[in-house]
Structure 1
Amino acid sequence: MTRHKKFLKSEKAKIKLKGAKLPKGLNVTKTEFKVRKIVIRDQIKEPTIVDGTIVRSNIKDLLSKLQHHNSSSRNEGLHFLNEIITNHPQETSKHLGAIIQGISQLALDIEKDVRKECFKALNLVFASQTSNLISPFFNIITSYLRCAMTHINIQIQEDSLLFLDCLLMYSPSLVASNSDIIFSCFLDMISKLRTEAKPDRTLTTNVGRKLTGVKWRSKVLDRLLGILKAFVAHRKHASMEIQMDVDQASNTVIDDAFKLPIEQTIMGGSLQKTQFSFDDRNDFFISSVRKQLNRNCDLPLLFRKTGCVATANASNLLMERDEGQKFQKYVEILMPLLFETWMEARPASNSKKSTAEFINEDVCISNEAAFTLKFTIEIIEQLLEFIQMCDHDVNNDDLIKWFRKRYSQEFSNQFLNEFPYRQTDGFKGSKRKSKGMATEQDVFEAGGQKCIQQNLNIAFVFWTLSKNSRSNQSLKTVIEFIKESLACVDSYGTDVLQILVKVLRTILVDNSQERLDTTSEIKELLSTVVVLYQRGKFPKEIRTRILIILCDIVLDHKLYIAYGQNIFSNWLSTLPKLLCQPYVSPHVLKTFSHLTRQKNPIFIKHLEESKDAIIANLPQVNIIGLTNQTQEKQEIINLFFWLKSWKPDQSEARKNQLGNEWPMIEKVFQIKNYY
């Protein structure tokens, strides 16, 4: 049987379905169907127009986009939000709380690109809004900052330092007022508790980080230094405001005080300033009542703090004491960590060498160690400055005495045994070719090859802490380094010069009285400073400040006698010539008045030689920083009262030349003749 016949037989065997066929025209497939329209809402939404410009999305939509599960969508939302913040700050201020909340939470995002975009947005927010507007929402910012600083993810923890940089750049006062909240997080980033029962801490190892332990701690210490600087600046600003209140209260005159008894005026109510018209033909007396004296003053406040001012009372004093005690606890935790950090970063010391053998041998340290040394010393310096401010507020020196007793010897052991320091040479080439080595730029940023900034800061802290120290060898080592630094003073930058002036003031003025009898090197240092000043070696930026230091020594009679008058003889002979210059410092003028009252023979002799040039310069001279020039010019003219043979030129030409200054000269001359 063929294949075709088999196929036909199988077809016949199939079951046939019988049924009626559809009529022609009805057996056509219908292609008609009904569906709902698909509507995409964002595509038909009209754009928002603000200040004549089109905003692609409104703020609420963008904030919701920041919570999208896709990182690209979050990045896109931040990008468009940055445009609104930059171009429409008024719209931003209306939704400031929601914007700060939405952006800050992305500091904890797992994606690094999102975190970077988040910090850019925060920079724009802080730059476009004032601190007063941000202040109500700052607790939200600090909450996310603390979460980022203590996050289990190491990358988020490292990027939290960028978060803090934003705050320190644009809102340092807010950071300072919340510094106690952030401080503990800094400790957790580089250390851990030894035991749960005690607050003592120890450094943690750097497991899982791309950075070395020393470099990571340097980054953390850099930000801690920024917070301490903001904190000290905030405290100084607050102290200045209090002092302004005191001055204003001191100069307040009670309304109608000359008509009523003082008791009635005090009880009478508000304090008001009154304008008086004076009649020189009659005696006129005004009772000056100081506002701060009209307040009740508790005895503890009276004996602990000089002056009961209007803005200070017993509760404020207790608050200041509590603040000092709280800061003392922070110092007790932080100082051992700083010492331990430096012990890990510094080169291994050779125990066979004594301290004397290190005097003429600079110790080379790595670039990472130089950065660590820089931040560590500057942090200790800020701690000292704040401690001195706390002591000044409560009118005692308990804190600084405690700090010296507790850490003076430890500081000397850690930093002075190998003093002074220097860095190893940097790689001469690009960062890419250095293969991890420190480049010349890195060496420069860490204080230069000679580490002059670090060494000067060490000298300053050491001299401040060792006020009652008897370690003459360390004192001589520091003074020898300062003298070597003065030899090349004209090559330093502004930052180094500022530190140098601070060190010289500390050695020569603040803490020299106790050591002049035992340390002759201080007198040699002063002689070097005087000679360099006379030769004009000091740069213009600090020349006036060096002059003020020398003037302060002259104003302190005991210090002036202790140093010896011979050191100042050549310098005193050049001082009257300063009055022939167009600008004079009021501090220098005060020194001149003091020297004339003391009848200093050297100064008066050269003042008499320069009197004609000084009088001719009176119309042109300006006293720096003062608006009332007439009163200060009177101080210059008063110097001539102490000259033995002085008679002013009374020609009409000289009178016309001097103008308003001539009546003052004539009056001083009349008084001199009378006496």
Structure 2
Amino acid sequence: MVKKAGTKRKKAERAKTQLKNSQKTPLSKNKKQSFKLPKGLNELDTRVNAKSLVLPSQLQNEDTSGPSTSRNLPLKHYLIKLKHYSRSTRLDGLKGIKEILSNYPESIIENLSVLMYKVCPLLSDTEENVGKETSRLLLTIVTSVDSESLRPFYSILSAHLCCALSHIDQDVQMIGLRGLDEYIQAIPEFIQISYKQLLPGLLNQISVGKEGIRRLSNKVDCGKVTLLQWRTEVLERLHSLFQLILKEVELKSGNNTFRSFNSKTIAFNDNDPFICQHIDLMLMDESIPIDWLDDDGLNVVKKSSESFSFLEFFQTLMPLLFETWKEASLFSGKRKLNKSNEDHSTLHPSNGPVFTVVVDIIQVMISILRVEMDADVFMKFQKGCEKSVCAFLLKGYPYRFASTSMKNKIVDRSSISINLKFSCIYIDVVNVPMIEVISNILDYSLSICDTRERETDDIYNRLLKSLCNLIFQKNLFPACVEKLDNLLQKSLSSRPRDGQLILLMSSLSSLDSCRDSSITIKNWINNLPLLLVEASKNRDSIISVIHKLQKQGNSLLLKAFSSQMNIVLEMLKASQTTNKINETLQVLIIICYRLQTKYPALIDLMEKADDFTKSLHTNLDPSISVR
């Protein structure tokens, strides 16, 4: 007979609690084996070792007034969770901290030290969600604190950000890149101070090899992006860093003047060849050491030996940029483009961001070196990359994007911007430009002068200035003078009120070599009287160039004012702007003094003038009484 299931279950339950007998006793035929239990084994011991039982919810002295979450848990509770091995626990700790800081912003500055030292290490956490939440939390912290309070923690933030950027897991690297974007916008001072530690980490993300000899990395650990997309992500951050560095070095260069904060007297030896025996050394800061003098007593400023060098870093980066350009011109995503060996000028629109960021980085690198380094160091940079620029970048100049379903206007705008930047790079990098290349640059600039967009005005005017410097001032390419003159004329026709173009023409007009070479500049000087009245922007530049030319006694300017004075005065009468009237009258009074001519209309306008203008008129021409 089969036993019931209930009987089996009850027997199994009894077996769980059945006591085992350790002593072996002989079994009789008619009796079951008996047990002899030790004393106390079948009794419940109710004794408790603790003197009292304490439940947290029943504590009378518990302080609940501090910052806490909706679950009444304090900040300390969540800080402990950040080191837990469980991903969900670490994530819960980060969210709890963010909730407290959002509800109690004043607690950020009170706990800033412990927050930075506890949260920053999670930037390189291998769990993607933890890394993203850490980046968001750090952004909340750094944007809620002033720079002076945050400055002592730049080193710890820089160290862990470098760890994230150089992590073996590419997901962590991407989180580091996104965090870097946020810090560039939120705390640019941190980037300007820590760039020497951050730049090598960014370089390691796209290249492998030893220092000075590096090549592009050919693998991507995560399958979310292609090689070119990953390099573009990294290069865009590099460009943002370089822009902040350029602002920093320009600021230092502008403030690099000796100020008399401290004055110390340095005595030279009796046999010193210098005439003066004493010299006052003006120090910019008290922290500057006085041991900059060499053994002979001469003031020799020695630069500190820093491990980071802009020149070395740029020399390492330039070949990588050229390789990236070459790869982007051959591939679209993972597909190789079907291009002939001689077709170097056609680019694929999908790789437009790659081409743009490459030329942008080269441009800002050149600007940094011009400001930071002396002429000899810049010459070394030129020699190192001159051949590469000619071989890789200008091989297919001018470049164009292949026709796709994209809007032609957007494609043309991108190609125009890239070609204009290439032209500037060529002039900046190549020590002795070739006349064929300069002629091609002029032809291309003439072809796009009327069709270019407003977004390209800055780089276009910069190229125009560089060409004028080469052809007009240095007189290197006399055969290109006519083309450049036509380009100036066409530029003024298409953008007659462009502020940067007015500044360029003002600077060119004050140089004899430019005036003698260009008919367009002469015509522009002839139009200065009308520009003086019509221009609402860049009036200071126009007034400045008029003063320069009249001091030089420029006959072209004086003749222009002499023939157009009555027209200018009539236009000025119709003006309703007081400042504009006074500024223009002051210029006209000086011009009339130069011309030794009196204009009744000018005397009538003096009724609208201020006291300074009236006194200027009286002093320069005492015979005329002001009403």
TM-score normalised over the length of structure 2:
0.77
Distance 1:212 1:342, change over 3 A: same
Distance 1:417 1:647, change over 3 A: same
SS in 1 for 2:167: coil
> Which residue of 1 is the match for residue 577 of structure 2?
620
1:415 Cα deviation from its structure 2 partner: 0.6
Q: Does 1:526 align with 2:499?
A: no
How many angstroms apart in 1 are the aligned matches of 2:464 and 2:490?
14
> Which residue of 2 is the match for residue 546 of structure 1?
501
Matches within 5 A, 1:57-68: 57-68=73-84
| Pairing partner for 1:605 from 559, 562, 567 | 559
Distance 1:335 1:100, change over 3 A: same
> Which residue of 2 is the match for residue 435 of structure 1?
none
Q: Does 1:376 align with 2:354?
A: no
Matches within 5 A, 1:132-211: 132-193=148-209, 199-210=212-223, 211=225
How many angstroms apart in 1 are the aligned matches of 2:454 and 2:57?
62
How many angstroms apart in 2 are the aligned matches of 1:159 and 1:476?
47
In 1, are the aligned partners of 2:532 and 2:539 still within 8 Å (CA)?
no
> Which residue of 2 is the match for residue 436 of structure 1?
none
| Pairing partner for 1:417 from 390, 395, 403 | 395
How many angstroms apart in 1 are the aligned matches of 2:32 and 2:230?
88
> Which residue of 1 is the match for residue 466 of structure 2?
506
Task: Compare 133-142 and 170-179 and name the one that shifted more.
Answer: 170-179
Distance 1:449 1:576, change over 3 A: closer
Matches within 5 A, 1:262-281: none
In 2, are the aligned partners of 1:532 and 1:538 still within 8 Å (CA)?
yes
How many angstroms apart in 1 are the aligned matches of 2:308 and 2:205?
24
Distance 1:649 1:364, change over 3 A: closer
Q: Does 1:225 align with 2:203?
A: no
Distance 1:15 1:213, change over 3 A: closer
In 2, are the aligned partners of 1:583 and 1:621 still within 8 Å (CA)?
no
How many angstroms apart in 1 are the aligned matches of 2:264 and 2:482?
46
Matches within 5 A, 1:89-128: 89-128=105-144
Distance 1:532 1:233, change over 3 A: closer
Distance 1:349 1:342, change over 3 A: farther
In 1, are the aligned partners of 2:420 and 2:460 still within 8 Å (CA)?
yes
Q: Does 1:480 align with 2:440?
A: no
Q: Does 1:311 align with 2:292?
A: no
How many angstroms apart in 2 are the aligned matches of 1:448 and 1:101?
50
Q: Give the unaligned 5+ runs of structure 1.
A: 1-12, 18-28, 250-270, 272-290, 300-306, 429-439, 624-628
How many angstroms apart in 2 are the aligned matches of 1:596 and 1:160?
59
In 1, are the aligned partners of 2:253 and 2:371 still within 8 Å (CA)?
no
Distance 1:654 1:340, change over 3 A: closer
Distance 1:321 1:657, change over 3 A: same
TM-score normalised over the length of structure 1:
0.72
In 2, are the aligned partners of 1:420 and 1:481 still within 8 Å (CA)?
yes
User: Counterpart of 1:488 in structure 2: which amino acid?
Assistant: T
User: Counterpart of 1:218 in structure 2: which amino acid?
Assistant: T
Provide, for residues 382-440 of structure 1, a one-character-per-residue CA deviation record: whole Å limited to 9, x for no partner. 1111111124xxxx511222222221221011110112223345657xxxxxxxxxxx7
Provide, for residues 633-654 of structure 1, a one-character-per-residue CA deviation record: whole Å limited to 9, x for no partner. 7455323221242245586x64
In 2, are the aligned partners of 1:580 and 1:613 still within 8 Å (CA)?
no
1:227 Cα deviation from its structure 2 partner: 1.3
Provide, for residues 12-35 of structure 1, a one-character-per-residue CA deviation record: whole Å limited to 9, x for no partner. x96699xxxxxxxxxxx9999788
How many angstroms apart in 2 are the aligned matches of 1:647 and 1:338?
64
SS in 1 for 2:208: strand
Matches within 5 A, 1:537-616: 537-538=494-495, 543-561=498-516, 563-564=517-518, 566-581=519-534, 585-608=539-562, 609-610=564-565, 612-613=569-570, 616=573
In 2, are the aligned partners of 1:467 and 1:511 still within 8 Å (CA)?
no
Task: Compare 185-194 and 309-318 and name the one that shifted more.
Answer: 309-318
Q: Does 1:641 align with 2:605?
A: no
In 2, are the aligned partners of 1:107 and 1:118 still within 8 Å (CA)?
yes
**How many positions carry a matched residue from both structures?**
556
Q: Does 1:400 align with 2:378?
A: yes
Distance 1:339 1:416, change over 3 A: same
In 2, are the aligned partners of 1:192 and 1:201 still within 8 Å (CA)?
yes
Task: Compare 98-107 and 58-67 and name the one that shifted more.
Answer: 58-67
> Which residue of 2 is the match for residue 388 of structure 1?
370
> Which residue of 1 is the match for residue 454 of structure 2?
492
1:485 Cα deviation from its structure 2 partner: 2.3
In 2, are the aligned partners of 1:189 and 1:220 still within 8 Å (CA)?
yes
How many angstroms apart in 1 are the aligned matches of 2:347 and 2:32?
106
1:591 Cα deviation from its structure 2 partner: 1.0
| Pairing partner for 1:327 from 310, 324, 332 | 310
Distance 1:343 1:649, change over 3 A: closer
> Which residue of 1 is the match for residue 427 of structure 2?
463
> Which residue of 2 is the match for residue 216 of structure 1?
230
How many angstroms apart in 2 are the aligned matches of 1:476 and 1:237?
36
> Which residue of 1 is the match for residue 608 of structure 2?
657
1:62 Cα deviation from its structure 2 partner: 2.0
> Which residue of 2 is the match for residue 283 of structure 1?
none
> Which residue of 2 is the match for residue 285 of structure 1?
none
How many angstroms apart in 2 are the aligned matches of 1:201 and 1:43?
66
User: Counterpart of 2:391 in structure 1: which amino acid?
Assistant: N
> Which residue of 2 is the match for residue 344 of structure 1?
327
Distance 1:409 1:90, change over 3 A: same
Distance 1:94 1:415, change over 3 A: same
In 1, are the aligned partners of 2:529 and 2:561 still within 8 Å (CA)?
yes
1:183 Cα deviation from its structure 2 partner: 1.9
1:320 Cα deviation from its structure 2 partner: 5.2
How many angstroms apart in 2 are the aligned matches of 1:602 and 1:150?
64
Task: Compare 166-175 and 81-90 and name the one that shifted more.
Answer: 81-90
In 1, are the aligned partners of 2:369 and 2:378 still within 8 Å (CA)?
yes
